[in-house]
Structure 1
């Protein structure tokens, strides 16, 4: 597999107090199967869609018990150098770059507006083995209360170019690597309770959005938004039974024309 460009979303995982419950929930909602947990690496357990590695679940580390959430990892050719840029541009390194055997090097960070994300410098584990197929990662967005700081940070740390969606009703920005649009950024408005911090929303692909929502809510998940049609697919935002938020999208069910955009200098 070719090395992913710097800043490309390349992996996602989440800590759960009850990993077995999480495996049951995501197995039913997204069709995941799971590999053997690795006690050497904190019982890290990979999830598979049609035999391809697409995410992982893991118990919390000591002292990190609490609210579950998904973490998106961005590709880095040199995690230590990227961590330096994160600090230089106002971010915080939460976990210093750490070698994970022969698999690669990971790092956790927080951007200036508060959203947590990861870095992954691939070794034998390069990241997603599949994307944009049922059960696999498809898209992600930084939800932020301070978009100016988030935009400046992301475009300084990674080689992104930016485009703004031309819509007075929403403040949404796209981040590109070359011709590929790889991330979105949404301003959090009054519809978000003040106690909800900035975060990264990860989308997983499904074959039928409404059916996925029905399975999720039937298993104790909470529908946060949708289902809603869009030019990119029919999607919905869900909270799982342990509090981790994510979205599902059927990318085959598109409706309407893609929005117009303006390049941002």
Structure 2
């Protein structure tokens, strides 16, 4: 599969306290299968597959102080150079670029408000083999408090073209890759401002979305499997129907049913 352009989400993974419980939960929820294989050389990092194509990964937390969270990774041809740009734009590097055998090079970074995201410089593993279809990644967005700090950061670091949502209530900006005509058709992610409806203690963070065939049924399945619903299914015109969920170990994610 061709490597994604810089700034395009290319991979997601979840750090979980109990890897086997995570495999049971997501295996039933999204019909994922799993293969430890060679990835076991790298901390039991386990890839997930839908219909034989890779869609995500699960890994056990090595330290109980680490957050239980889904992380999105943005593609880059040069993780070292991108980390320099991140620092120069007011962000930070949480984990310096690390070679993961022949698979590629990863790093973790944070924006000026502390929202953490990953970087991936592909080797033999270039990223998603399947996305934008049921059981696979379809979207991501960062929730911030001060857009005057966050907007220039992502636009400088990744060269995004932007489109503001025509909504007087929701303050939302979509990101399109550098060189693409900005707009909903080319958008790969976005920024939302945390408002008074969110808990005051909620930190800035990324939310990872998975496509599903039936949003309401998926939310019900999450509850049945021991997770929780934090935002009940609702319509997001003109994109579809979504819900915000938490798995049975505390990792938050969202699902989106296409129109």
* TM-score, structure 2 normalization: 0.94
Show structure 1 runs of 4+ deviating over 6 A: none
Distance in structure 2 (CA, Å) of the matches to 1:240 and 1:191: 22
C-alpha root-mean-square deviation of aligned residues, in Å? 1.1
Q: State the SS of the aligned residue for 2:201.
A: coil
- Say whether residues 1:129 and 2:129 are aligned partners: yes
1:139 matched residue in structure 2: 139
2:44 matched residue in structure 1: 43
| Deviations 1:31-50 (CA, angstroms, capped at 9, x unpaired) | 11111253310000000111
Report the Cα offset of residue 66 of structure 1: 4.3
Gap regions ≥5 residues in structure 2 = none
Report the Cα offset of residue 65 of structure 1: 3.6
- Say whether residues 1:200 and 2:206 are aligned partners: yes
- Say whether residues 1:239 and 2:213 are aligned partners: no
Are the equivalent residues in 2 in contact too, given 1:106–1:119 (CA < 8 A)?
yes
Distance in structure 1 (CA, Å) of the matches to 2:26 and 2:217: 14
| Deviations 1:84-111 (CA, angstroms, capped at 9, x unpaired) | 0000011110000001000000000111
1:220 matched residue in structure 2: 226
Distance in structure 2 (CA, Å) of the matches to 1:166 and 1:229: 16
Are the equivalent residues in 2 in contact too, given 1:12–1:55 (CA < 8 A)?
yes
Distance in structure 1 (CA, Å) of the matches to 2:241 and 2:44: 34
Are the equivalent residues in 2 in contact too, given 1:141–1:184 (CA < 8 A)?
yes
- Say whether residues 1:55 and 2:67 are aligned partners: no
Report the Cα offset of residue 156 of structure 1: 0.5
Q: State the SS of the aligned residue for 1:80.
A: helix
Distance in structure 2 (CA, Å) of the matches to 1:113 and 1:11: 22
Are the equivalent residues in 1 in contact too, given 2:3–2:127 (CA < 8 A)?
no
Gap regions ≥5 residues in structure 1 = 255-265
Q: State the SS of the aligned residue for 1:181.
A: coil
| Deviations 1:192-251 (CA, angstroms, capped at 9, x unpaired) | 112211111010011111111111011111111120112111111001121111001111
Q: 1:52 to 1:223 in 2, by over 3 A?
A: same
Distance in structure 1 (CA, Å) of the matches to 2:176 and 2:207: 17
- Say whether residues 1:22 and 2:28 are aligned partners: no
Distance in structure 2 (CA, Å) of the matches to 1:141 and 1:57: 20
1:260 matched residue in structure 2: none
1:100 matched residue in structure 2: 100
Report the Cα offset of residue 67 of structure 1: 3.2
* TM-score, structure 1 normalization: 0.92
Report the Cα offset of residue 2 of structure 1: 2.4
The 5 Å alignment of 1:68-217 reads: 68-177=68-177, 178-179=180-181, 180-217=186-223
Are the equivalent residues in 2 in contact too, given 1:67–1:243 (CA < 8 A)?
no
Farther off after superposition, 70-79 or 158-167: 158-167
